[in-house]
Amino acid sequence: MKTQRERMINGELYYPGSGETELRELFMRSRRLMREYNQTSELEAEKRAALLKEWLGKTGEKVYIEPNFKCDYGKHISVGERFYANFDCIMLDVCPITIGDHTMFGPRVSLLTASHPIDAQVRVSGLELGSPITIGSNVWLGGGVIVNPGVTIGDNCVIGSGAVVTKNIPPNTVAAGNPCRVIRPITDEDKSYWEKQASLYWAEVEGN
The alpha carbon of 187 is separated from its chain's Cα centroid by a whole number of angstroms, namely 26
SS3 (DSSP) at 145: coil
Strand partners of residue 164? 146
Rounded to whole angstroms, what are the CA distances from 174 to 20, 119, 158, 189? 43, 35, 5, 14
The alpha carbon of 5 is separated from its chain's Cα centroid by a whole number of angstroms, namely 20
Residues 85 and 106: their CA atoms lie apart, in Å, by 6
Determine which one of 116, 117, 138, 155 is catalytic: 116
116 is catalytic: yes
Surface-to-core class of residue 143, CB atoms within 10 Å of its CB (0-12 exposed, 13-18 middle, 19+ buried): middle
User: Of 129, 127, 163, nearest to 144 (Cα)?
Assistant: 163
Give the helix/strand (H/E) hosting 77: strand 77-79
Q: Active-site residues: which are they?
A: 116
